[in-house]
Amino acid sequence: MVNILMRPVFTTLVFMMICVSGVAAEEYSIITGGTVMGRSFDVPKYGAAGDLNLITEMAFFFKTLEIFNLQHMQGETFTGYRMPLRLQYHPRHDLTIELGVLLGHDFGDRDRLNESAPLARLVYEPTPGLFILGGTLIPTHWIHDSFHDDVQKFRTDVEQGFQLRADQNWLKNDTWLNWRVREETVDAEEFEIGMSNQFRLLDDTVRLDTQFMWTHAGGQISTSGRIEQNLIYLAGFSVGTRKPLGWDACEELRLGYSWLYSRDENDHAGLVKGYGRAYSAHVDFRVLQHFIIRGFGEIYDGDGFYTTLGDPLYQLDKYNQLGTNLLFNVGGDHLFIEAGFVNQYTDDVSNLTYQVSMVWGDGFKLASIKN
C-alpha cells in the first residue's frame, strides 16, 4: 500500500531533483559513526565492563565553499585532519570514562600542530540508548545547518560542558550546553544551548522534528557591556519509505518540511524577528554492498532570519540547492571515504561546495581490570 502511495511522490522527487538548482542545507557529511565527521545520536563504545581500551580515530577532510557575489558572505576552504586519541575504561556496564587528547593540523599552515586540547569525558548510560555526558562533548550534532553549521568543528578545537543523547528506535535526541568562553573583566562569557528531538513513528515512515538553540554572550562582571543573544526554533516533519516501488537498489526516499523562527537582539539594536521555510528531499541508492549514493535537494525561502552559529546562507530570502554525496563504507564499518558536491543558486548567482573526507576509527583492548 505504501509503495502505491509513494509512486506519485517518487515521480515528483525525480522531477524536482532534475529541475531544481541549488544551496547549503545538506552539504554536511553523511557519515554517522565516530566523533569527528558527520552527524550522530549515539556514543561510540568499545568492549565490556572492566575493559580498558585504546580508541584511535583519524579524520582527514577537505571542504571548500565557493561563494561569489553575495553581499557580506565569502567563500572559505577547510582542509586538514582531526585526531582524537583516548583511553576508554568501563568501571561497570553503564559507566564509561575517557581520557585523551585531540590533535589536529590545518594543511597549509606553518604550525606543525594547530590543535592540541585535552579530552576528558564521563558517560552514564542509565538505560540502553540513553547517554548522559559531562566534560568533552561529542560535536557531531544532529541539528539543522541553519542552527549549527557543520564547519564549526573545523574552526574550534573541542566543545566542553554537558550533553544528553538518545539513540532509540522511536526517539533520537541531542541536547548540549557548550561553554565556549569564560567571563573575565573584559571578555564576556559565551555559551550555547542546543536541543534536537526526532520522533520516528509508524515504523520510521514519519519523522517529527523539534529543535532549539540559544546562543548567548554577556555576563555580570565583564566591563565590555556586550550583550548578545540569538534564539532559533524549528518544527518540521518528513515522510519516507525504504525500497520504494519495490526497487531493491533504492535504500530510502524521504520528503521533508521545516519551519524556522529566529529572535535576535544585542546591545546595539533592538529585538529582530525572522522566519524561514525549507522543503527538502533526498534519495539513497546502494550501488554496491559498501557504496551508497545520496541525491538531495532543498528549496528555501525566508524573511529576516538570523543565525549566529548556523550557515549564513539561511539568512538570504531565497535559495535552492541540488547535490550528491558518495559514501564508501569499507573495513568492517571502520573506514569511510566520502565525496560530495552541492550546487547553490540564489539571487541569480550560482555557487558550489565540494567536500572529500577519509575517516578511520577502531578500539583496541589493552587490559581487563577487575573491581
User: What is the rounded distance in angstroms from the CA atom of residue 337 to the CA atom of residue 327?
Assistant: 6
Query: Residues of the chain with pLDDT > 70: what percent?
Result: 91
pTM: 0.86
Q: How far is CA 180 from CA 78, 123, 216, 332, in A?
A: 21, 21, 10, 36
pLDDT per residue as tens digits for the range 298-329: 999 999 999 999 988 888 888 899 999 999 98
Q: Is 244 helix (H, G, I), strand (E, B) or coil?
A: helix
Tens of pLDDT, residue by residue over 87-115, are: 999 999 999 999 999 999 999 888 777 77
- Per-residue model confidence (pLDDT) at position 354: 92
| Beta-sheet strands, E only, within 220-348 | 228-241, 250-266, 269-288, 291-303, 318-330, 335-346
Q: Residue 358's pLDDT is what?
A: 94
What residue segments make up the domains of the chain, in order of their start? 2-31+126-353
Residue type, 153: K
| CB environment 298-334: b (16+ within 10 A), e (fewer) | bbbebeebbbbbbbbbbbbeebbbbbbbbbebeeeeb
Per-residue pLDDT at 101: 95
CB 363 within 8 A of CB 55: yes
| Mean pLDDT calculated for residue range 209-221 | 89
CATH number of 2-31+126-353: 2.40.128
∠ CA 315-144-359, nearest 5°, is 120
Residue with cell 531493491: 248
The enclosing H or E element of 6 equals helix 2-19
Distance CA 259, CA 144 (A): 11
pLDDT grade, residue 12 (50/70/90)? very low
CA distances, 135 to each of 132, 162, 231 (Å): 10, 6, 24
Q: Which three cell numbers stand for residue 82?
A: 582531526
Distance separating alpha carbons of residues 315 and 302, to the nearest angstrom? 7
According to the model, what pLDDT value does residue 223 have?
67
The answer to whether 215 touches 189, Cβ cutoff 8 Å, is no
Q: Are 189 and 220 in contact (CB under 8 A)?
A: no
Decide if pLDDT at 167 tops 90: yes
Least confident of 68-82, 127-141, 303-317: 68-82
Bridge partners, 104 (sequence order): 82, 115
